[in-house]
């Protein structure tokens, strides 16, 4: 027995050594991201390190704006693409201790001048990053060299940073349409208070992810619609801010009569929400926006104090009225301020 015990101990010791080797081989230790900086005197000064672009034969110099966080430096400039178009190009650099490296860039674009962005393009293409001077959180002077359709393109910048340019990189305070407005829908409306639902707000959704260019960020499009529950009821049009929409009229003065609205149908698009999808909420969801029924972006997420002119068939005769409401998008509210239906058939009403 005394001879067996030392043998068992040796075996256990060997097994233990083998297990340690296995643990060492099987353990996955993440490799630290490397950062190598290429320095060169590029001859850049504050006066020549800018963006120049040409539109309609006119060249213009555009200044850089910049900000930085604990982990990144973000450079951007506004591009010009027409009177009814705006674009912003953003370049992201990673900070690794006292080193900095180019990461990726993206652009946000809008075909309308009223705010909000219609599409986002993301680029992970290779750039040669040449640094003339780098002082962490103080100065970044350098050049990105990229191949633009077979032609080398230089993107030069001279950035002086101050403490006012510091920002905290965080996920935006974001409420999805699915967890907000869709919980309220369908939202039923009884115009003449007879216990019957005459109209309702409802919604439809689709993910838009098929584009000509593969670097465009997909988005979810959610539409809020108003529908008539009865096929005989009609939504004549929308009236707000002195404008009759979908009636072929504009800049119309108060008051407005239902005579001014043509028959439009039993369904009407009210608002649309664009939710940019990505594996992270940051940075693309900060560009989510609402649009009105005509496709223009709102400065806010609200459609406030709106009147829908309506026509309802009651006892076989047409009656005219309106629905006065607000949709508060990011506040997750639909408010019916007032409904009215003229008790006299065939008599038009005036919306004041």
Q: Per-residue pLDDT tens, the chain, 352 aa: give them.
A: 434 334 334 333 344 444 444 444 444 444 567 888 999 999 999 888 877 765 556 666 788 999 999 999 999 988 766 666 678 899 999 999 899 999 999 988 875 544 455 788 888 777 789 999 999 999 999 999 887 666 778 889 999 999 999 999 877 777 788 888 888 999 999 999 999 999 999 999 999 888 777 788 888 989 999 999 988 899 988 876 666 665 544 445 657 788 887 777 888 888 888 888 876 667 888 888 887 755 555 556 777 888 889 999 999 999 999 999 988 888 889 999 999 999 999 999 888 7
* 122 touches 104 (CB < 8 A): yes
**113 lies in the same domain as 216:** no
**253 lies in the same domain as 311:** yes
13 located within any domain: no
**189 lies in the same domain as 332:** yes
Amino acid 123: pLDDT: 81
24 located within any domain: no
Residue that is last in its domain, among 165, 197, 213: 165
* 100 touches 93 (CB < 8 A): yes
**229 lies in the same domain as 306:** yes
**215 lies in the same domain as 132:** no
Amino acid 150: pLDDT: 67
| Cα 7 from chain centroid (whole Å) | 70
**161 lies in the same domain as 187:** no
3-state secondary structure 245-298: ECCCCCCCCCCEEHHHCCCCCCEEEEEEEEEECCCCCCCHHHHCEEEECCCCEC
* 296 touches 112 (CB < 8 A): yes
* 106 touches 129 (CB < 8 A): no
Tokens in use for 11? Answer: 């075996």
> Based on the structure, what is the number of domains in the chain?
2
Amino acid 114: pLDDT: 46
Amino acid 253: pLDDT: 60
How far, in Å, CA of 308 to CA of 310, rounded?
6
Query: What pTM, to 2 d.p., does this model score?
Result: 0.74
Q: Which of 204, 214, 231 is nearest to 313 (CA)?
A: 231
Amino acid 68: pLDDT: 96
Amino acid 267: pLDDT: 87
**102 lies in the same domain as 212:** no
**44 lies in the same domain as 127:** yes
Amino acid 246: pLDDT: 56
**200 lies in the same domain as 322:** yes
């Amino acid at each position: 027995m005394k001879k067996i015990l030392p043998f068992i101990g040796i075996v256990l010791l060997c097994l233990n050594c083998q297990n340690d080797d296995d643990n060492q081989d099987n353990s996955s230790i993440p490799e630290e991201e490397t950062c190598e900086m290429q320095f060169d005197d590029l001859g850049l000064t504050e006066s020549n390190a800018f963006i120049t672009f040409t539109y309609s034969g006119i060249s213009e110099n555009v200044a850089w704006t910049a900000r930085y966080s604990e982990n990144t430096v973000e450079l951007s400039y506004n591009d010009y693409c027409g009177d009814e178009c705006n674009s912003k190009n953003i370049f992201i650099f990673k900070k690794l201790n006292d080193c900095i490296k180019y990461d990726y860039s993206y652009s946000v674009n809008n075909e309308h001048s009223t705010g909000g962005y219609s599409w986002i393009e993301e680029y992970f293409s290779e750039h040669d990053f040449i640094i003339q001077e780098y002082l962490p959180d103080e100065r970044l002077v350098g050049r990105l060299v990229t191949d633009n359709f077979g032609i080398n393109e230089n993107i030069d910048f001279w950035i002086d940073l101050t403490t006012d340019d510091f920002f905290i990189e965080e996920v935006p305070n974001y409420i999805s349409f699915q967890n907000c407005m869709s919980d309220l829908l369908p939202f039923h409306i009884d115009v003449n208070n007879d216990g019957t639902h005459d109209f309702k707000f409802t919604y439809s959704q689709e993910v838009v992810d098929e584009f000509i260019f593969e670097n465009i960020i997909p988005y979810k499009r959610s539409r809020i619609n108003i529908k008539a529950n009865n096929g005989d009821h009609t939504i004549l049009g929308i009236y707000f801010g002195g404008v009759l929409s979908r009636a072929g009229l504009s800049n119309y003065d108060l008051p407005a009569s239902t005579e001014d609205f043509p028959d439009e149908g039993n369904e009407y698009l009210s608002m649309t929400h664009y939710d940019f999808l990505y594996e992270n909420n940051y940075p693309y969801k900060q560009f989510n926006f609402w649009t009105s029924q005509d496709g223009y972006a709102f400065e806010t997420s609200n459609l406030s104090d709106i009147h829908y002119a309506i026509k309802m068939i009651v006892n076989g005769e047409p009656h005219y009225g309106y629905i006065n409401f607000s949709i508060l998008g990011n506040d997750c509210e639909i408010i019916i301020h007032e409904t009215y239906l003229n008790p006299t058939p065939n008599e038009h009403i005036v919306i004041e």
